[in-house]
Structure 1
Amino acid sequence: MNIQSKLAILADAAKYDASCASSGTSKRNSVGGRGIGSTEGSGICHSYAPDGRCISLLKILLTNFCQYDCLYCVNRVTSNVPRARFTVDEVVQLTLDFYRRNCIEGLFLSSGIIQNPDYTMEQVVEVARVLREDHDFRGYIHLKTIPDASAELLEKAGRYADRLSINIELPTVQGLAALAPEKDGAAIRRSMARLRVHIDDAKGEARDAAANKVVSMPQGGPRRAVAPRFSPAGQSTQMIVGADATDDRTILSTSANLYSAYRLRRVYYSAFSPIPDASSALPLQAAPLVREHRLYQADWLMRFYGFTHDEIVPPTVPGAAGGAQGATPSGGMLALDVDPKLAWALAHRDRFPVDLNVAPREMLLRVPGLGVKAVERLLVARRVRRLRSDDLTRLHVPLRKVLAFVQLADHRPGRGLDAVNLAAQFKPAPVQASLFST
């Protein structure tokens, strides 16, 4: 099989892995004629950094052969799909060739399990080692690690990769046992814990090196202290949504635990999609993509807006038939017709309107339509003047959403706004399907 045919198979096989964002790493580039590649710049859009930059990644599997039989995976051992396998040198040359043609800025590499976890992990790490040491590649490298691989191999991977990720696969231990019995949930978490220790140690050494910028060497003159790098962009994980009956409350609870216990940079959510020759244990229909979108929004609320998972999807919801004030459904699921921040505000109408001129930052962040940057700018502006509607206009916030929940020097909506009517106002109007819609 030629390399083009392999690429077609193994790039397509990698599309199910969502955890390939490239934000948060240290800056490196080849300015000055040293090395090749960069973690900065823009190119073909594959993923986004938090500041909006597009980061292009060559996203492939080393191989889609796999000895595991995870029911939800198209590459499982019993799946009837075309198989291919790259050599280490082929992945290295593809990465360099695509970079030189300005098609990519980095590499995302995962793999099926062949022979055993250690053998597979050795091959994955060797790709990164050759790129870094033999070709002085300074672009972004994200390696999908194998939790059953040895601690030594995981440590070695962190020396070459900008980010490491270990997929937790499913939100619950029960779901993992039912759909991927060969995978060990405890081993996955042990590996995450090891990576956290190594990442924390590297950060500590970097702080020490910054505090002692110059150290003396016994052979002669002083040199700058350089701390060893270990996965500077941290670690991430991915879980499949909709492959089992796990509700959104449980999914967000699992995510909150992962963020707290292992300091993950991101938890990615991948809506289940039916696969060929699927097991009868799997749903017949794909999970709605809007559910995946709402989980990402809820995840953002936990990470940046001060919400806890049990606030976003409470354990018991008053008015089970229609949801809390017509906004949040019962059964531990996020509303699909409104975003989770708006759903929370509608369910807690007694906390609004919020006076933007006196309310604390924590409450401003809970106002639908106000983002983190807008809140910071409002806090600065209100130190020198009383805020008015024009200030919101200048910040380009959605006035239709915000004004129903805030009080300003020239705007007082009162508390009499009915939450059920507000919910109906903010729900999107039905759109007639196009003949060409998919």
Structure 2
Amino acid sequence: MNWDRVKEKLEILADAAKYDVSCSSSGSKRKNPDKMLGDSSGMGICHTYTEDGRCVSLLKILLTNHCIYDCLYCVSRKSNDIKRAAFTVDEVIDLTIGFYRRNYIEGLFLSSGIFKNADYTMERLVRIAKKLREEHRFNGYIHLKTIPGASNELMRQAGAYADRLSVNMELPTVSGLKLLAPEKDHKEMIKPMESIKNDIIQFRSERKLIKSTPKFAPAGQSSQLIIGATNESDLEVIQTSTSLYKNFNLKRVYYSGYVPVLAHQNLPQLGTPVPLVRENRLYQTDWLMRFYQFDASEIVNEKHPNLDLEIDPKLSWALRNREFFPVDIQTADLHAILRIPGVGVKSAKKIIAARRFGRLDMKTLKKFGIAINRAKYFMVAGKNKPLVEWESDNLRRLILQHSSSKYRGNFSNQLSLFS
């Protein structure tokens, strides 16, 4: 094997893979029997995190950046004048095993441009996962990015060897996809999600009856939406992600802010990337829906189609719904406590458990990890009296002013360390 050439390919295809952010390994509990190679439940040091917060390192690459499509938002599009490369099946396997043995990685995240056709590309992705599992006894985490248009049989084989499968929706709206990727069909991108969902349900049902039934994509499936390549509102983005969660039982929907790399009349101007804070607000909204019992329409709706970039979505909702507050933490249920800005899920459960033993004051709540400087304006606790008579705009300015001064104070403290 020509390692100089492999290294060159790695530089090209690892760089191309950075635009795909849907590489979480959360949900996998693959054990390691019979001294197999690798263990997806072990500790790692890199860029992705499991559901319980452990850090897991993944080799994240494309099989190839050759592509038959010419999507305007994609750096690997057919018309783009870039260096092209493609790994062989054995090169990907050797890299994965070699990096694992050196303790660089815990698993593999493998995606690909589409060359020749969907089945041709998908067959190679499946062959890599199969050889890793069966020939090299690799038991670490594997995430395969599936190719829309590939056969159901290949999808089923992929799920037999991978911990997680994902299908990128790419753009949040059908109209956006037609504008920037007219060669692609929105329905064709939905089909594999439906197939994967059905197979996951079927295999889980069979495992309840026959324990020897093999696992199928035990970490579920995920998807990714590119934000800001078209002028969709946050409402449209959240409506799409909500539909994906509901219809296909997705584990995660990831959001990737578009970075303008092509001058074109249908694209944002060069030098105008999507603010990172917009990505952050979308993830916070996603979190509120999944863990804080919020409905999507409470956060974004026709009256408020875009998220506030200055404040987080829970605080934004609280300022728009002052009649809900103040919440008495001594008597309120979990649903109401979760709505208090600055109170997390763990903190809310601690409140429910601790108040059985006596009244809670602000000093105790601070020990629970609550952001008191926000929460105090929306709850009754001990002698705390929230500013119920203040207008929402004035309260917003007060919280923003305090947050800004706190940031300046932290920055000054950091600078003092180097004085």
| TM-score normalised by structure 2 residue count | 0.93
Query: Does 1:270 find its partner at 2:276?
Result: no
**Structure 2 contact 257–274 (Cα < 8 Å) conserved:** yes
Shift of 1:92: 0.2
* In structure 2, distance between residues paired with 1:417 and 1:138: 58
Distance 1:245 1:146 in 2: 26
Structure 2 counterpart of 1:395: 368
Q: Is the 8 A contact 1:338 1:426 kept in 2?
A: no
Q: Is the 8 A contact 1:243 1:272 kept in 2?
A: yes
Task: Give the aligned partner of residue 429 of structure 1.
Answer: 404
Is structure 2 residue 335 aligned with structure 1 residue 316? no
- Corresponding position of 2:238: 252
The CA distance in 1 between the partners of 2:343 and 2:55, in whole Å, is 24
- Cross-structure match for 2:293: 306
Tell me whether 1:159 sits opposite 2:160 in the alignment: yes
Map of 2:24 onto structure 1: 21
Task: Give 1:329's aligned residue.
Answer: none
Cα distance in 2 for residues equivalent to 1:357 and 1:42: 39
CA separation in 2, counterparts of 1:166 and 1:307? 26
- Report how far residue 389 of structure 1 moved: 1.5
Equivalent in 358, 372, 378 of residue 405 of structure 1: 378
> 2 CA distance for matches of 1:301 and 1:376?
16
CA shift, 1:413, in A, is: 1.9
CA-to-aligned-CA distance 1:285-333 (integer Å, 9 cap, x gap): 111111011000001111111111111012114xxxxxxxxxxxxxx11
Q: Which residue of 2 is the match for residue 370 of structure 1?
A: 343
- Give the superposition deviation at 1:403: 0.9
Secondary structure of 1:156's counterpart equals: helix
Identify the residue that residue 129 of structure 2 maps to in structure 1: 128
Q: Counterparts of 1:386 and 1:207 in 2: how far apart (Å)?
A: 46
Aligned mates of 2:111, 2:358 — CA distance in 1: 54
Quote the offset at 1:425 in angstroms.
2.0
Work out whether 1:5 is the aligned partner of 2:12.
Answer: no
Is it true that 1:68 corresponds to 2:69 in the alignment? yes
CA distance in 2, matches of 1:57, 1:5: 19
SS of corresponding position for 1:16: coil
Q: Deviations over 1:18-42 (max 9, x none)?
A: 0000010123236x5x210010232
For 1:2 and 1:413, the matched residues in 2 are separated by 65
Read off the aligned partner of 1:396 and give its amino acid letter. G
- Residue of structure 2 in register with 1:112 after alignment: 113
Counterpart for residue 286 of structure 1: 273
Identity of aligned residues (%): 50
SS at match of 1:236: strand
User: SS state of the match for residue 202, structure 2?
Assistant: helix
User: How far apart are 1:404 and its partner, in Å?
Assistant: 0.8
Where 1:2 maps in the other structure, the secondary structure is helix
| Structure 1 residue 238 corresponds to structure 2 residue 224 | yes
User: Partner residue of 2:55?
Assistant: 54
What CA distance in whole angstroms lies between the structure 1 residues aligned with 2:182 and 2:387? 56
Equivalent AA in structure 2 for residue 335 of structure 1 = D
Shift of residue 205 of structure 1?
2.2
CA contact (8 A) 1:199 1:234 kept: yes
- Number of residue pairs aligned between Structure 1 and Structure 2: 401
Partner of residue 417, structure 2: none
Give the secondary-structure state (helix, strand or coil) at the position aligned to 2:109.
strand
Q: What is the rounded CA distance, in whole Å, between the counterparts of 1:207 and 1:365 in structure 2? A: 35
1: CA distance, partners of 2:99 / 2:399: 45
- Return the letter of the residue paired with 1:256: T
Does the Cα contact within 8 Å between 2:29 and 2:41 map onto a contact in 1?
Answer: no
Q: Does 1:101 align with 2:102?
A: yes
The 1-side partners of 2:251 and 2:396 are apart by 33
Question: Per-residue deviation at 1:137?
Answer: 0.4
SS of residue matched to 2:357: coil
Aligned-pair CA distance for 1:414: 5.2
Question: Which residues of structure 1 form unaligned runs of 5+?
Answer: 210-224, 318-331
Distance between the aligned counterparts of 1:249 and 1:312, measured in 2? 9
The answer to whether the 8 A contact 2:44-2:54 is kept is no
Shift of residue 388 of structure 1? Answer: 1.7
CA contact (8 A) 2:22 2:222 kept: yes
5+ residue gaps, structure 2: 412-419
Q: Show CA shifts across 1:27-73 (max 9, x none).
A: 3236x5x2100102323311112322111000000000001000000
TM-score by length of 1: 0.89
Distance in 1 of aligned mates of 2:264 and 2:196:
34
Q: Does 1:350 align with 2:323?
A: yes
Contact 2:63/2:86 (8 A) holds in 1: yes
Cα distance in 2 between the residues matched to 1:413 and 1:248: 31
Give the structure 1 partner of residue 416 of structure 2. Answer: none
Q: CA deviation at 1:208?
A: 2.8
Q: Structure 1 or 2: larger helix share? A: 2
CA contact (8 A) 1:389 1:411 kept: yes
Letter in 2 for 1:19: S
